[in-house]
């Protein structure tokens, strides 16, 4: 049975550790979770589950490399699907019309935080 007490948010990194135009990935919170990643663009921080809607794999080709060379979009390393940073919509590629799963990002005590359940795989039982 799930607890009725909300889990505290997961603190990912200091807000100062994510520069404008940068992206950063974070490992799964535990078994049954996918990782998440953050992008700071236009002064806002966007968060997504690190799972491509095409095949469910992680998007980055090496640590923290989620963005196109010009930094204007998110790109999946596997088959080069292109996603809009602002809403995760797939603009081209094999999952055209799908979208990344957004994660709410908050800042508390100088830390960027996501909900404790961010990236949790849907229960299948």
In the complex with ligand FES, the residue whose CB is nearer, 55 or 108, is: 55
**Spatial distance between the Cα atoms of 26 and 34, rounded to a whole number of angstroms:** 9
57 class by beta-carbon count within 10 Å (0-12 exposed, 13-18 middle, 19+ buried) = middle
> Based on CB atoms, which residue is closest to ligand FES, 96 or 107?
96
Rounded to an integer, what is the distance from CA 42 to the centroid of its chain?
A: 17
Q: Is 81 in the site for ligand FES (CB under 6 A)?
A: yes
Question: In the Cβ-directed half-sphere of 35, how many Cα atoms lie within 13 Å?
Answer: 15
By CB under 6 A, the residues from 49 to 68 that bind ligand FES are: 52, 54-55, 57
**91 near ligand FES, judged by CB under 6 A:** no
Tell me if 76 contacts ligand FES by CB under 6 A: yes
In angstroms, the CA 31 to CA 77 distance is 24
Q: Which of 47, 93, 115, 119 binds ligand FES (CB under 6 A)?
A: 93
The residues in 3-32 that bind ligand FES, with binding defined as CB under 6 A, are none
Q: Which of 11, 13, 78, 82 binds ligand FES (CB under 6 A)?
A: 78
């Amino acid at each position: 049975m799930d607890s009725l007490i909300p889990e505290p948010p997961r603190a990912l990194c200091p807000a100062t550790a994510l520069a404008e135009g940068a992206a950063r990935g974070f490992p799964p919170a535990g078994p049954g979770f996918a990782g998440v990643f953050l992008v700071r663009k236009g002064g806002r921080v966007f968060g997504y589950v690190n799972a491509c809607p095409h095949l469910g794999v992680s998007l980055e080709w090496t640590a923290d490399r989620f963005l196109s060379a010009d930094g204007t979009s998110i790109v999946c390393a596997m088959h080069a699907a292109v996603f809009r940073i602002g809403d995760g919509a797939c603009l081209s590629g094999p999952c055209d019309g799908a979208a990344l799963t957004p994660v709410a990002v908050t800042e508390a005590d100088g830390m960027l935080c996501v909900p404790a359940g961010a990236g949790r795989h849907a229960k299948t039982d």
